[in-house]
A = this chain, B = another copy of it.
């Protein structure tokens, strides 16, 4: 069950000038399922992306990387039901074919189309079903179809994920709207995390690669459900430049900071929604590391806690099992960590310090925090000034059930 998560009100997902979305049904896995999403971008839009580091990356990821270096992007095409991963040369050919057909309908070049796939791995992409559905998706293009798109890109997500914000940039109102899918860093045979965030702000093309990375680092790169990294993970940032603001050309400017903050808010809401909708989740866990020497060591410790099956099953059991958290901190791989000078908090309660349980701590305090559905674990390292946060969920019977029964 998703933890404190409801689908976005369709009216709350604001149109972004220069972005049109169209949905269609190709019947890839189920007849009638709306499984194709087409996104058309106005001429002059700037697009940048970050992708999975998995060496078994999917064919559409390979193609996205190529097309982003070759041209200005005019369209995105997304299918669910098939990941087009582990499909070799033939997979690349079929992904390119999809782009070609979109380009033909829209009157642009094949390299101006980015393809995305999510679904079963190791199965050939059913272009016989996808290609005929593309004209219907094109005919459906409209500025207010964000909610429909959020639903159409879901796989085993229980709740659709979308968010909008507005901000002032050089005296103009800019809009940011994003949608995402994913409920495990990798799903059972599923390509997991896709995120698309668009803004009508005008920003120099040269700043886009850094901006998408900055936003990903504080949002999608802070989520883990099971520690597995998908073959298809993609996060795309779109800036159509139609808000009328003076083009942002300096990464040190206040405008850049304002836009980045607003983009990050949307991306963080989407990223947290993935952990809240994590497979079998009953609790949403924030792991916050403070006072580290550098970002890497903070992330290492945060992930050690957030990935530990022992910690996650303890949260599922509402058991304030501090030993498991301490052990995870200890094996995180920070070799010169002094465990005698750090503090661990569960919610607002100091639970451990000086290498052991805090003298003031009582089991009743820990048990009370564990009853909550949104819980924060805070580790104060006291060795530097850097912080990092990771979001995750607990580990329940249903995780095993979902993943053991997915194909069988």
List chain A positions with a Cβ less than 8 A from chain B.
52-57, 85-88, 91, 120-122, 184, 186, 188-189, 226-231, 307-310, 313-314, 316-319, 321-324, 326-332, 334-335, 337-340, 352, 354-357, 395-397, 399-401, 403-408
Q: Is the CB of A189 within 8 A of B400?
A: no
- Top 10 nearest A-B pairs by Cβ distance? A56-B330, A121-B323, A317-B404, A229-B331, A54-B330, A313-B403, A55-B330, A88-B356, A86-B356, A88-B355
Bound form: Cα–Cα A401–B397 in Å: 8
Q: Is the CB of A323 within 8 A of B403?
A: no
Which residues of chain B come closer than 8 Å to A331, judged between CB atoms? 52-56, 228-229
Q: Is the CB of B355 within 8 A of A404?
A: no
Q: Which of B230, B308, B335, B407 is in CB contact (< 8 Å) with A327? A: B230
Q: Is the CB of B396 within 8 A of A400?
A: yes
* 6 residue pairs bridging A and B, Cβ less than 8 Å apart: A54-B327, A56-B326, A228-B327, A228-B328, A229-B327, A397-B401
Bound form: Cα–Cα A177–B291 in Å: 48
Bound form: Cα–Cα A196–B228 in Å: 35
Q: Is the CB of B122 within 8 A of A317?
A: no
A28 CB, nearest partner CB in chain B, Å: 17
Which residues of chain B come closer than 8 Å to A335, judged between CB atoms? 53, 55
A353 CB, nearest partner CB in chain B, Å: 10
Bound form: Cα–Cα A322–B400 in Å: 17
Bound form: Cα–Cα A406–B321 in Å: 10
Q: Is the CB of B327 within 8 A of A231?
A: yes
A402 CB, nearest partner CB in chain B, Å: 9
Q: Is the CB of A86 within 8 A of B357?
A: yes
Contacts known (A314-B404, A400-B396); A56 close to B355, Cβ less than 8 A: yes
Which residues of chain B come closer than 8 Å to A57, judged between CB atoms? 330
Q: Which of A56, A91, A319, A335 has the most CB of B within 10 A?
A: A56
Which residues of chain B come closer than 8 Å to A321, judged between CB atoms? 188-189, 406-407
Q: Is the CB of B403 within 8 A of A122?
A: no
Contacts known (A188-B321, A337-B55); A121 close to B327, Cβ less than 8 A: yes
Which residues of chain B come closer than 8 Å to A310, judged between CB atoms? 184, 186, 188, 226, 228, 403
Q: Which of B54, B316, B328, B399 is in CB contact (< 8 Å) with A309? A: B399
Bound form: Cα–Cα A88–B352 in Å: 11
Of all chain B residues, the one with the shortest Cβ separation from A329 is: B56
With A121-B327, A229-B331 given, can you name 16 additional A-B contacts, CB distance below 8 Å?
A: A55-B330, A55-B335, A55-B337, A56-B339, A57-B330, A88-B340, A122-B357, A186-B310, A228-B310, A228-B327, A313-B400, A316-B404, A319-B407, A321-B406, A321-B407, A396-B400
Which residues of chain B come closer than 8 Å to A230, judged between CB atoms? 327
Which residues of chain B come closer than 8 Å to A56, judged between CB atoms? 326-327, 329-331, 339, 355
Which residues of chain B come closer than 8 Å to A186, judged between CB atoms? 310, 324, 327
